[in-house]
Amino acid sequence: MTDSLQRVAPGGIARDGLNLKRCYGHDRSTDWQRRIFTVKDELLEAAKAVREKAYAPYSGFKVGAAIRSAAGIHVGCNVENAAYPEGICAEGGAITSMVAAGDTEIFEVLVYAEADTPVAPCGGCRQKLAEFAGPDVVVRLAGADGVTTETTMADLLPAAFGAAQLK
């Protein structure tokens, strides 16, 4: 895989975020492959842009998150508070934006921090994401050089607590 083009073996499956589509061995980028990377680029650019608005005067560690849902792309940044537990993480801000837009299902997540290695969501954010994202939802973690790690909600939070446990 390169930064701009994912090559899929003939008959292989590539994920475009909303649907799975089959690639029939074309060696060049098809329309749906371009759409895959447009969506990824939109999420990365949205997370980078909102990261700049983060309020992190205490740690200096700014994070941006972008979530894609049926209603569109929703962003959030971390907002610190002198009383540390009272701050909000970027993922929580993006979830709040999504719910305020009237949506409750996450299709894809990207978390961006200008760190040498990608930064995973904290435990609380993993649980918050799991409330709205199924186990197969892709979560991309990006560092200063762009997207470098891709995982799923199931890998980030195995045996997530959910509504089923409350019955």
Domains detected in the chain: 46-160 (3.40.140.10)
Which residues fall in the annotated binding site for substrate?
Answer: 78-84
Residues marked as catalytic: 91
For the stretch 114-158, pLDDT in tens is 998 899 999 999 999 999 999 999 999 999 876 679 999 999 999
> Which pTM does this prediction carry?
0.76
Average pLDDT of the residues in 75-81:
98
Instruction: State the DSSP string of 100-124.
Output: HTT---EEEEEEEE-SSS--PPPHH
Which residues fall in the annotated binding site?
Answer: 78-84, 89, 122, 125
- Model confidence at 7, in pLDDT bands (50, 70, 90)? very low
Phi-psi region of 71 (alpha: psi -120 to 50; beta: other; left: phi over 0): alpha
- Model confidence at 165, in pLDDT bands (50, 70, 90)? confident
> Amino acid identity of 84?
Y
pLDDT of residue 53: 98
For the stretch 9-35, pLDDT in tens is 333 333 343 332 333 333 334 444 444
Q: How far is Cα 39 from Cα 37, in angstroms, rounded to an integer?
A: 5
